[in-house]
Amino acid sequence: MTEESEGIMKGYVCKVCKFISINGSAPDKCPVCGAPRTAFEEKEDAIKTLKDENNLTELEKKHIPVITVVKKCGLIPEGCLDVHVKMGEIQHPMQAEHYIAHIDFYIDKEFISRVMLTPEKLNPAAALHLKASSGRLAAIELCNLHGAWIKETEL
Ligand SMILES: [Fe+2]
């Protein structure tokens, strides 16, 4: 399958844990694994993004995160905003040879959380309970075969 039609986004990629900084610079220290700035590599094609939202490719349908924001939390009744993310519009496989390895979450381009996923044990999805009630949420998922994909939404 061709990848020519996909959108591409720049990022600074940690060589150790594959965290991607999207705020325009490499951090002093990787917020996920603690690696130093020297472990980061600037990549013009670090992340794949949706090119035409009215005409998704098969690969985009399996990889672009689908984000659902739930305003009322069943667990923490006050001051909690639930974010549910799944991959993707067509469910991505979670097999030993092809799976989603992790999902990294950001608010206003700053890292807030990583959810690690284990193939065969978990579905390609995660949820967070946010204190924040506004801002721009981004989710970047890493597929072991097809790379990193991003979706952003306003809270
Ligand atoms: Fe994949």
Which residues are in the CB-under-5-Å shell of ion ligand 1? 143, 145-146
Give me ligand 1 centre to Cα 49, in Å. 14
Give me ligand 1 centre to Cα 62, in Å. 7
pLDDT of 72 = 87
pLDDT of 114 = 98
The dotted CATH code for 7-154 is: 2.60.40.730
Burial class of residue 147 (count of CB atoms within 10 Å of its CB; 0-12, 13-18, 19+): middle
pLDDT band at 98 (very low <50, low <70, confident <90, very high): very high
Give me ligand 1 centre to Cα 77, in Å. 36
Percent of the chain with pLDDT over 70: 96
* Phi and psi torsions of 26, nearest 5°: -85, 140
Adjacency order of strands within the sheet including 66-70: 66-70, 81-86, 125-130
pLDDT of 51 = 83
Give me ligand 1 centre to Cα 143, in Å. 5
Q: How far apart are CA 49 and CA 41, in angstroms?
A: 19
- C-alpha pair distances (Å), 7 with each of 4, 44, 68: 8, 11, 22
* pLDDT above 90 for 95: yes
Q: Tokens 């990583």 map to which residue?
A: 114
* pLDDT above 80 for 1: no
Tell me the two tokens of residue 75: 């667990």
| Rounded average pLDDT over 26-40 | 98
pLDDT band at 53 (very low <50, low <70, confident <90, very high): confident
Instruction: State which H helix or E strand residue 60 sits in.
Output: helix 58-63
